[in-house]
C-alpha cells in the first residue's frame, strides 16, 4: 500500500545538497536513467549518482549539448530521446531492454515550463506531452527492466507549481478553453504527482517504488520561455534583473535542488515506501486545497481516484498499456 503523506523528519533540511544526501551510499553495480540529466538539477543528479558508483544513462534530445555538459563526468552513457515523439521513446526503451540490463533507478527529470501553445504530433499540449505523457510511456515500456532489478525506484519531478491547477480531465489539451501556460504547467505537475501514486500502487508488490519530488525554487534553463518582464512579475528578478534580496532565502542552489531527488532515489530509510510527494529531503505535508503558501502538497495531487483516472487517460493517449506480468 502507499505510504502516508506525512513527514518522516529525515534529519535533512532544505539546504541539504545532493552530495550530502547520498553520502556513504554505495551504488556500484546499479544502473540509472536520468532524463534531462545534462542540464540544471538533472546534471547535478547525474553527477551525484555517478559519484556514488552508479552507471548512468542520459537520454538527450540535444546530443551535442549533452556531450559538452557531461564531458567532465566519466562513464556516462548518452543516447537520443525526444519525450514528445512516441517512436523515439519506443526506440530508446527497446534498445535498453534489449541490452538485458536491470534498471535500478529511473529519474523522470526532464521538463518544460510555460512555453507558448505548441502541440505534439498527436495534438497533445506540449507541457502535458513532455512532462507527463512522454515519461508515462517511457516508464511503462521500461517496466520489464525495472522489475528485473528486484528493488527499483522511479523518481518523478513534480513541482510546487501543482498548486496552479488540478488535472482537467474534461479538457487536458486546451482544445475547448483558452490556453493558459501556467494552468497547463500546473496540471502537468499535478499529473506527475498522480503518476507516482498510481505507479507505486502497481509496483509495490514487485518492489518497484515511485516518488514525486518538488526540487525547490531554482534558477535553471527551465525559465527559458519567460521574458524578463514575466520573471519580474513572479518575483524571480528585480528591476536590475537580479533575484530580489527579500526572496533570496526561498531559492536553492542547483546542488540543493537535486537533493530530494537523490534522497528519494537512494536513501534506505525509504525502503518499502512509495507513492508520496516529497520536498526539502523529506516527505511533504498534505495541506488543504486553499493553503496559500508554496510548501506542502494539495489534495488533488495525491488523490488516488484521480490517479487511477489519469492512468486510464494516459494509456488511451499513448496507446501503451501496462502489463504487470511483463
Catalytic residue annotation: 185
Backbone angles phi, psi at 147, to 5 degrees: -60, -35
CA dihedral (142, 321, 42, 57) in degrees, to 10, reads: 20
212 vs 116, 191, 282, CA distance in Å? 26, 10, 11
DSSP classification of residue 129 = I
Residue in 94, 82, 105, 92 with CA at minimum distance from that of residue 30:
105
Determine the Cα–Cα distance for residues 8 and 20; give it in Å rounded to an integer. 18
Residue 65 neighbours by CB distance under 10 Å: 13
241-277 per-residue burial string, b: 16 or more CB within 10 A, e: under 16: eebeeeeeeeebbbbbbbbbbbbbbbbeebeebbbbb
The answer to whether the CB of 135 falls within 8 A of the CB of 109 is no
Strands 77-80 and 105-108: unpaired
Strand order in the sheet with 152-157: 77-80, 55-60, 31-34, 105-108, 152-157, 208-214, 276-279, 282-283
Amino acid at each position: 500500500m502507499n505510504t502516508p503523506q506525512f513527514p518522516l523528519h529525515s534529519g535533512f533540511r532544505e539546504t541539504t545538497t545532493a552530495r550530502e544526501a547520498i553520502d556513504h551510499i554505495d551504488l556500484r553495480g546499479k544502473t540509472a536513467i536520468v532524463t534531462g540529466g545534462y542540464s540544471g538539477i538533472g546534471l547535478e543528479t547525474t553527477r551525484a549518482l555517478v559519484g556514488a558508483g552508479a552507471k548512468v544513462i542520459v537520454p538527450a534530445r540535444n546530443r551535442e549539448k549533452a556531450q559538452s555538459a557531461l564531458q567532465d563526468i566519466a562513464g556516462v552513457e548518452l543516447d537520443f530521446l525526444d519525450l514528445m515523439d512516441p517512436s523515439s521513446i519506443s526506440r530508446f526503451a527497446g534498445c535498453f531492454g534489449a541490452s538485458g540490463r536491470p534498471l535500478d533507478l529511473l529519474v523522470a527529470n526532464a521538463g518544460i515550463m510555460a512555453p507558448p501553445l505548441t502541440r505534439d504530433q498527436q495534438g497533445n499540449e506540449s507541457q502535458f506531452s513532455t512532462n507527463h505523457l512522454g515519461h508515462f510511456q517511457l516508464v511503462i515500456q521500461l517496466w520489464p527492466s525495472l522489475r528485473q532489478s528486484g528493488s527499483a525506484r522511479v523518481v518523478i519531478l513534480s513541482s510546487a507549481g501543482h498548486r496552479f491547477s488540478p488535472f482537467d480531465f474534461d479538457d487536458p489539451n486546451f482544445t475547448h478553453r483558452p490556453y493558459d501556460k501556467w494552468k497547463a504547467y500546473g496540471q502537468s505537475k499535478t499529473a506527475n504527482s498522480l503518476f507516482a501514486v498510481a505507479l507505486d500502487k502497481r509496483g509495490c508488490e514487485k518492489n518497484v517504488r515511485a516518488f514525486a519530488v518538488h526540487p525547490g525554487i531554482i534558477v535553471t534553463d527551465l525559465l527559458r520561455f519567460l521574458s524578463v518582464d514575466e520573471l519580474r512579475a513572479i518575483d524571480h528578478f528585480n528591476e536590475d534583473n537580479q533575484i530580489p534580496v527579500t526572496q533570496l532565502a526561498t531559492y536553492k542552489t542547483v546542488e540543493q535542488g537535486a537533493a530530494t531527488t537523490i534522497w528519494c532515489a537512494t536513501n534506505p530509510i525509504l525502503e518499502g515506501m512509495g507513492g508520496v510527494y516529497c520536498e526539502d529531503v523529506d516527505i511533504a505535508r498534505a495541506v488543504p486545497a486553499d493553503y496559500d503558501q508554496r510548501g506542502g502538497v494539495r489534495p488533488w495531487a495525491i488523490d488516488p481516484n484521480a490517479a487511477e483516472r489519469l492512468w486510464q487517460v494516459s494509456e488511451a493517449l499513448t496507446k501503451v498499456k501496462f502489463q504487470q506480468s511483463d
